[in-house]
Structure 1
Amino acid sequence: MPITVITIVGRTLLALLFILAGLAKIAGPQPFLDHMAAHHIPGLLLPLVIVLELGAGVALLIGWQLTWSAGALALFCVATAFVFHLDLADKAERTLFVKDLAIAGALMVIAAGAAQMRGAVSIG
C-alpha cells in the first residue's frame, strides 16, 4: 500500500487527537485527575497516559513504528471506553463509548496495514 496524501491526512487527524489531549493534560491536569479519581483510577497513572498520548501520537503523526504506536493507542482507546464510558444508559457516555471503539478500530487498521507492509517488504 503506497503512502498517499489521504493516508497521511488520516494519520495526522488521528494523531492530533492524542497529541492535543496529552498537551491538555499537561496544561491543566486537575480535571483529568478528578475524572480518574471518580473512576477509581490512581492519579499516578496520569504521567504515563501523557507519555503514551504524546509519544505514540507523535509516532503516528510521523509514521514511525506504526504497528506499535497505533496498536498501543488502540488498546488505550478500548481501555478508556470500558473504564470511563460504560454508563451506556447515558446517551453522551454511550456516544463516547462507541467513538472510542471506532477510533480503536481505525488505529487497528493502521497497525495491521503497517505490519502487512513490513512483512511484504521483508519477504519480497
Structure 2
Amino acid sequence: MRTIENYGNLIGRILISIIFLMAGISKISGYDGTVGYMEAMGIPGQLLPLVILTEIAGALAIIVGFKTRIVAFLLAGFTVLSALIFHADFTDQMQSILFMKNIAIAGGFMFLVANGAGYVSIDNGMPKKSN
C-alpha cells in the first residue's frame, strides 16, 4: 500500500500540472491570438509572458515536487483568478463548466498545500536507497 501512496502523489502532481504545461506551450505557439483574447477580456496583453512563465514553471515545479506547497498555493490563486476573469459568464453553460473546472483544480492544489508533494519529490529529498 505504501507504493500506491508514494507514487500516487507523483501521478497526481503530473495529472494536475499537465493542463498548465500544455496551456503555457500552446500560448507560445498562439501568442498573437492569446494576446487578442486577453485584451478582449480587459487584461493587458503585456502580461502574457508572465502568464506563460507561471503556467510552465509552475507546472514543472509541481511535477518534480519543488517548493510544492508555495507553488500550489500560487497556482490555486492563479486558477481562481483566471476563473473569475475568463469564465464567470454563468449564462453560458460552457463558461460555467470551465469555471467549475478551475475551482476543482484550485481545490486539488489546496490538497498539495495541505499535504505537500509526498515521497517522490525534490521537497522530500527524492527517494533514498537504503544500504
TM-score normalized by structure 2? 0.83
Query: What aligned pairs does 1:1-124 form with structure 2 within 5 A after superposition?
Result: 4-114=6-116
CA-to-partner distance for each residue in 1:14-63, whole Å, 9 max, x for gaps? 11111111111111212211211111100010000011111111000000
**2:127 corresponds to:** none
| Alpha-carbon distance, 1:4 to partner | 1.5
TM-score normalized by structure 1? 0.87
**1:118 corresponds to:** none
The separation in 1 between residues aligned to 2:9 and 2:85, in whole angstroms, is 30
The separation in 1 between residues aligned to 2:59 and 2:15, in whole angstroms, is 10
**Letter of the aligned partner of 2:81 in structure 1?**
A
Q: Mean alpha-carbon deviation: is it higher for 97-106 or for 2-11?
A: 2-11
**Letter of the aligned partner of 2:49 in structure 1?**
P
Whose radius of gyration is greater, 1 or 2? 2
Number of equivalenced pairs: 116
More contact order relative to length (CA 8 Å, sep ≥ 6): 2
**Letter of the aligned partner of 2:94 in structure 1?**
A
The separation in 2 between residues aligned to 1:31 and 1:108, in whole angstroms, is 31
| Alpha-carbon distance, 1:78 to partner | 0.2
**Letter of the aligned partner of 1:24 in structure 2?**
S
| Alpha-carbon distance, 1:68 to partner | 1.1
Q: Which runs of 4+ in 1 moved over 3 A?
A: none
| Alpha-carbon distance, 1:94 to partner | 0.3
Q: Mark the runs of 5 or more structure 1 residues left unpaired by the alignment.
A: 116-120
Q: Mark the runs of 5 or more structure 2 residues left unpaired by the alignment.
A: 118-123, 125-131
The separation in 2 between residues aligned to 1:96 and 1:74, in whole angstroms, is 15
